[in-house]
Structure 1
Amino acid sequence: MMQPSLPETQTPAASGALMTDFTRASDVTQVLPSGPILSSQPGQWNGVHLSYYQHPPYEIPEVASKHHLILVHLEVPTQVEQWMGTEFQKIHFQVGSVLVVPAQTPHSANWDAENRYLLLSLDPIAFLDMAQSVDNRTTAELLPHFTAAEPLIHGIGLSLKAELESGNLGGRLYADSLCTTLFNHLLRHYTTKVAALPTLEGGLPRYRLRRVMEYVDAYLDRDLALAELAAIAQLSPNYFTRLFKQSTGLTPHQYVIQQRVERAKRLLHEGHSTLADVALAVGFAHQSHLNLHFKRWVGVTPKAFINNQ
Structure 2
Amino acid sequence: MNGPSDPRGAGLRAASHRSVVGVELRVTPAGDLVHPAIADHHVSVHAGRPVRVSCPANGAPSIRTRGEVNVFPAGVSDAWTEDDESRTVDVRVPDPLVRRVAEEMGLDPGRASIAPRYHLRDVRIEHIAWALEAERRAGFANGMLFRESLGLALAVHLLSRHRAATVPRGGLSKDQLRRVVDCVDAHLDADLSIARLAREAGVSAPHFKVLFRRAMGVPVHAYVVQRRVERAKTLLLRGGLTSGEVALQAGFAHQSHMARCMRRVLGVTPGSIARARA
TM-score relative to the length of structure 1: 0.47
- Secondary structure in 1 aligned to 2:157? helix
- 2:104 corresponds in structure 1 to 133
Greater helix percent: which structure?
Answer: 2
The aligned amino acid for 2:103 is Q
2:89 to 104, 118, 121: 118
Distance 1:54 1:62 in 2: 14
Distance 1:65 1:91 in 2: 26
Distance 1:53 1:183 in 2: 21
Gaps of 5+ in 2: 167-278
1:82 to 31, 55, 71: 55
Q: Taking structure 1 as reference, are residues 62 and 185 closer, same or farther at Cα in structure 2, changes over 3 Å only?
A: closer
2:145 to 173, 178, 182: 173
Q: Given the alignment of the two structures, is residue 93 of structure 1 paired with residue 59 of structure 2, yes or no? A: no
Runs of 4+, deviation exceeding 2 Å: 34-41, 43-47, 86-91
The aligned amino acid for 1:92 is I
| Count of aligned pairs between the two proteins | 160
2:45 to 49, 61, 72: 72
Q: Given the alignment of the two structures, is residue 187 of structure 1 paired with residue 159 of structure 2, yes or no? A: yes
- Secondary structure in 1 aligned to 2:149? helix
What RMSD in Å do the two structures reach over aligned CA positions? 2.3
Following TM superposition, by how much is the alpha carbon of 1:79 offset from its aligned partner in structure 2, in angstroms? Answer: 1.3
Distance 2:91 2:113 in 1: 17
Identity %: 22
Gaps of 5+ in 1: 1-31, 195-309
Matches within 5 A, 1:1-309: 32=1, 34-38=2-6, 40-41=11-12, 42-43=15-16, 46-61=19-34, 63-82=36-55, 89-138=60-109, 139-192=111-164
Following TM superposition, by how much is the alpha carbon of 1:193 offset from its aligned partner in structure 2, in angstroms? Answer: 5.5
Q: Taking structure 1 as reference, are residues 98 and 191 closer, same or farther at Cα in structure 2, changes over 3 Å only?
A: same
- 1:305 corresponds in structure 2 to none
Distance 2:59 2:98 in 1: 26
Greater strand percent: which structure?
Answer: 1
- 1:275 corresponds in structure 2 to none
Distance 2:160 2:60 in 1: 24
Q: Taking structure 1 as reference, are residues 184 and 177 closer, same or farther at Cα in structure 2, changes over 3 Å only?
A: same
Following TM superposition, by how much is the alpha carbon of 1:90 offset from its aligned partner in structure 2, in angstroms? Answer: 2.8
| Pair member with larger Rg | 1
Q: Taking structure 1 as reference, are residues 89 and 177 closer, same or farther at Cα in structure 2, changes over 3 Å only?
A: farther
- Secondary structure in 1 aligned to 2:37? strand
Following TM superposition, by how much is the alpha carbon of 1:118 offset from its aligned partner in structure 2, in angstroms? Answer: 1.1
Following TM superposition, by how much is the alpha carbon of 1:62 offset from its aligned partner in structure 2, in angstroms? Answer: 6.5
Indicate conservation of the 8 Å contact 1:48/1:179, yes or no. Answer: yes
Following TM superposition, by how much is the alpha carbon of 1:61 offset from its aligned partner in structure 2, in angstroms? Answer: 4.2
TM-score relative to the length of structure 2: 0.52
Q: Taking structure 1 as reference, are residues 119 and 59 closer, same or farther at Cα in structure 2, changes over 3 Å only?
A: same
Q: Name which structure has the greater RCO, CA cutoff 8 Å, separation 6+.
A: 2
Distance 1:43 1:140 in 2: 25
Following TM superposition, by how much is the alpha carbon of 1:153 offset from its aligned partner in structure 2, in angstroms? Answer: 1.2
Following TM superposition, by how much is the alpha carbon of 1:166 offset from its aligned partner in structure 2, in angstroms? Answer: 1.3
Distance 1:124 1:145 in 2: 17
Q: Taking structure 1 as reference, are residues 52 and 76 closer, same or farther at Cα in structure 2, changes over 3 Å only?
A: same
Distance 2:4 2:151 in 1: 20
